[in-house]
Amino acid sequence: MDFEYFTQLFFGGLTRGSIYALIALGYTMVYGIIELINFAHGEIYMIGAFTGLIISTVLTMMGMPAIAVMVLAGMAAIIYSCAYGYTMEKIAYKPLRNAPRLSVLISAIGMSLFLQNYVLLAQTSDFLPFPSLVPEFEFWEPYSHILTSPELMILSTTVVVMILLTILIKFTKIGKAMRATSQDKMMAALLGINVDQVISATFVVGSATAAIGGVLIASHIGQINFYMGFIAGIKAFVAAVLGGIGSIPGAVLGALVLGWTESFFTGYISSDYEDVFAFIFLVVILIFRPSGILGRSQIQKV
């Protein structure tokens, strides 16, 4: 077996999985809090990529150094996507808080179509070239045949995001409120937690990680279009379900497993059916573990 090829596929899968993880977090956190599959989440990621493109084009024309462009474009994308995520919850989901779940799901699909077409009309249906924002790091030169600088950037950013998110959820007031709210909304309210605020915060956090994923992948692949959120969104959703929807470590694990599966299948078997593997894999896992890899089966709720 060719070891170098194997490591390339391994890291390729890891990179892919990291991006899926950044998007999957938004699905799983929102599901954990309001039991909604937010179909429009992929679009938040797409909007992040578009914002990143627009801002980075402007800043590059102004002659800024690549690193500064990357950071500023990333921050703009986060802010923009968060604003969209926040607003989306307020207009499409909050009014339906006590409605049947099907109504909310339809509202989510509507939101997704609306945002896609909005970007289609406001921007273009063509693929737009996205500048590579990550410079070739000189210190990384000796290893770049296994893992490129942009891939290294994606991996390390993902690790940092995961650490920050863990700190947020475990130790901050809003993070504790999120955990409590996801387990028992009424009791959370009875202890003085503003449940609406917690839900908004969840959408904002999920949108931020999706925006980071959007900018990173756009810069890595080099092109974007209005439709990019759809397939990435579905893959991330698969990852979230795979890991056990509602579970944050589950989403990350599911995303990595999916990334590796895709990478190794396309690398060793065939690249024609790349997108099919994801779904075959999902079906197989769910047959054996219906609640996902790290999902909780319904245990005692007294």
Partner 1 sequence: MLKLKNVQAFYGNIQALKDISMDVKEGEIITLIGANGAGKSTTLMTICGIVPIRSGEILFEGQTINKMPPNKIVALGINQVPEGRHIFPYLTVMENLDMGTFLRNDKDGIKKDLDYIFTLFPRLAERRNQAGGTLSGGEQQMLAISRAIMTRPRLLLLDEPSLGLAPIITHQIFDIIKKINKDNKTTIFLVEQNANLALNVADRGYVMENGLITMTDTGKNLLANEDVKKAYLGI
Which residues contact partner 1 by CB under 8 A? 173, 176-177, 179-180, 183-184, 186-195, 296, 299-302
Rounded least distance, CB 24 to partner 1, Å: 20
Rounded least distance, CB 100 to partner 1, Å: 14
Rounded least distance, CB 195 to partner 1, Å: 8
Closest CB to partner 1 among 138 and 301? 301
Closest CB to partner 1 among 103 and 183? 183
The candidate with the shortest Cα–Cα distance to 251, out of 216, 280, 292, 211, is: 292
Rounded least distance, CB 98 to partner 1, Å: 11
C-alpha of 196 from chain center? 22
Rounded least distance, CB 181 to partner 1, Å: 10
Closest CB to partner 1 among 14 and 177? 177
Closest CB to partner 1 among 185 and 234? 185
Q: Which amino acid is at 255?
A: A
Rounded least distance, CB 63 to partner 1, Å: 48
CA–CA gap between residue 280 and residue 146 (Å, rounded): 28
The candidate with the shortest Cα–Cα distance to 213, out of 239, 178, 174, is: 239
E strand or H helix that includes residue 104: helix 101-122
b/e map 132-157, b = 16+ CB within 10 Å: bbbeeeeeeeeeeeebbbbbbbbbeb
Q: Give the Å distances, CA to CA, from 282 to 1, 189, 211, 230, 273.
A: 28, 36, 25, 18, 15
In three-state secondary structure terms, 129 is strand
